[in-house]
Protein backbone atom coordinates (compact mmCIF):
# COMPACT_ATOMS: atom_id res chain seq x y z
CA UNK A 1 0.00 0.00 0.00
CA UNK A 2 2.90 2.40 0.59
CA UNK A 3 3.40 4.55 -2.48
CA UNK A 4 0.15 3.36 -4.05
CA UNK A 5 -3.00 5.39 -4.55
CA UNK A 6 -5.79 4.62 -2.11
CA UNK A 7 -9.11 3.27 -3.29
CA UNK A 8 -12.50 2.92 -1.62
CA UNK A 9 -12.06 -0.79 -0.86
CA UNK A 10 -8.81 -0.45 1.11
CA UNK A 11 -8.97 -0.86 4.85
CA UNK A 12 -8.37 2.13 7.08
CA UNK A 13 -4.76 3.22 7.53
CA UNK A 14 -3.19 2.68 10.96
CA UNK A 15 -2.75 5.64 13.27
CA UNK A 16 0.62 7.26 12.70
CA UNK A 17 0.53 6.68 8.94
CA UNK A 18 2.04 9.51 6.93
CA UNK A 19 0.51 10.45 3.61
CA UNK A 20 0.14 13.13 0.99
CA UNK A 21 -3.29 14.47 0.12
CA UNK A 22 -4.15 15.33 -3.47
CA UNK A 23 -2.99 18.86 -4.29
CA UNK A 24 -1.19 19.28 -0.93
CA UNK A 25 2.38 20.45 -0.44
CA UNK A 26 2.84 19.16 3.12
CA UNK A 27 2.53 15.63 4.44
CA UNK A 28 -0.17 14.63 6.94
CA UNK A 29 -0.09 12.12 9.81
CA UNK A 30 -3.25 10.17 10.70
CA UNK A 31 -4.31 10.86 14.31
CA UNK A 32 -7.95 9.72 14.37
CA UNK A 33 -10.92 8.15 12.60
CA UNK A 34 -14.59 8.78 11.85
CA UNK A 35 -14.67 12.47 12.69
CA UNK A 36 -17.95 14.35 12.44
CA UNK A 37 -17.69 18.08 11.92
CA UNK A 38 -20.38 20.17 13.60
CA UNK A 39 -23.38 20.45 11.29
CA UNK A 40 -22.37 17.49 9.10
CA UNK A 41 -24.44 14.35 8.78
CA UNK A 42 -21.70 12.11 7.38
CA UNK A 43 -18.40 11.29 9.08
CA UNK A 44 -15.01 12.02 7.57
CA UNK A 45 -12.81 8.91 7.30
CA UNK A 46 -9.77 10.44 8.98
CA UNK A 47 -8.46 13.17 11.23
CA UNK A 48 -4.91 14.26 10.56
CA UNK A 49 -2.42 16.95 11.39
CA UNK A 50 0.51 18.43 9.48
CA UNK A 51 3.71 16.40 9.47
CA UNK A 52 6.32 16.95 10.89
CA UNK A 53 4.92 19.69 13.14
CA UNK A 54 2.07 17.64 14.65
CA UNK A 55 -0.85 19.12 16.57
CA UNK A 56 -0.15 22.76 17.31
CA UNK A 57 -3.74 24.02 17.36
CA UNK A 58 -7.02 22.19 16.76
CA UNK A 59 -7.91 24.55 13.89
CA UNK A 60 -4.92 23.18 11.96
CA UNK A 61 -6.17 19.59 12.08
CA UNK A 62 -7.48 18.18 8.82
CA UNK A 63 -10.55 16.05 8.14
CA UNK A 64 -10.37 14.02 4.95
CA UNK A 65 -11.65 10.90 3.20
CA UNK A 66 -9.88 8.00 1.54
CA UNK A 67 -10.46 9.44 -1.91
CA UNK A 68 -8.51 12.57 -0.91
CA UNK A 69 -5.30 10.57 -0.42
CA UNK A 70 -2.77 10.79 -3.22
CA UNK A 71 -0.17 8.42 -1.77
CA UNK A 72 0.85 6.71 1.45
CA UNK A 73 4.41 7.47 2.46
CA UNK A 74 4.62 5.45 5.69
CA UNK A 75 2.28 2.98 7.37
CA UNK A 76 1.83 3.42 11.11
CA UNK A 77 2.16 0.57 13.59
CA UNK A 78 -0.48 -2.13 13.33
CA UNK A 79 -1.19 -5.18 15.49
CA UNK A 80 -3.91 -7.82 15.05
CA UNK A 81 -6.36 -6.04 17.40
CA UNK A 82 -5.83 -2.80 15.48
CA UNK A 83 -6.46 -4.46 12.11
CA UNK A 84 -9.75 -5.96 13.33
CA UNK A 85 -10.86 -2.57 14.67
CA UNK A 86 -10.00 -0.80 11.41
CA UNK A 87 -11.76 -3.43 9.29
CA UNK A 88 -14.93 -3.08 11.39
CA UNK A 89 -14.66 0.70 11.30
CA UNK A 90 -14.28 0.66 7.52
CA UNK A 91 -17.50 -1.34 7.09
CA UNK A 92 -19.36 0.91 9.55
CA UNK A 93 -18.25 4.06 7.73
CA UNK A 94 -19.41 2.64 4.40
CA UNK A 95 -22.86 1.95 5.86
CA UNK A 96 -23.13 5.39 7.48
CA UNK A 97 -22.11 7.16 4.27
CA UNK A 98 -24.52 5.16 2.13
CA UNK A 99 -27.43 5.79 4.53
CA UNK A 100 -26.79 9.53 4.60
CA UNK A 101 -27.66 9.82 8.28
CA UNK A 102 -26.09 9.16 11.64
CA UNK A 103 -27.55 6.75 14.18
CA UNK A 104 -29.05 8.38 17.26
- Summarize pLDDT for 70-88 with one digit per residue, the tens: 999 999 999 988 999 999 9
What pLDDT does 101 receive? 61
Per-residue pLDDT band at 11 (split at 50, 70, 90): confident
The CA-based angle 59-61-66, given to 5 degrees, is: 140
- Identify which has the larger pLDDT, 56 or 5: 56
Q: Could you give the CA distance from residue 96 to residue 82 in angstroms, rounded to a whole number?
A: 21
pTM higher than 0.85? no
Indicate the SS3 state at residue 62: strand
CB-CB contact of 101 with 41 (8 Å) = yes
The answer to whether 71 and 19 have CB atoms below 8 angstroms apart is yes
Q: Summarize the confidence of residues 30-38 as an average pLDDT.
A: 88
Radius of gyration in angstroms for the set of CA atoms belonging to the chain, rounded to a whole number: 13
* pLDDT for the residue 28: 97
Amino acid sequence: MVGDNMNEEDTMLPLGSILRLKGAKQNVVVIGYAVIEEGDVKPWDYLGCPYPTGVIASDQNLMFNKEDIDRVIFLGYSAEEDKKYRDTLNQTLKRLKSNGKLPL
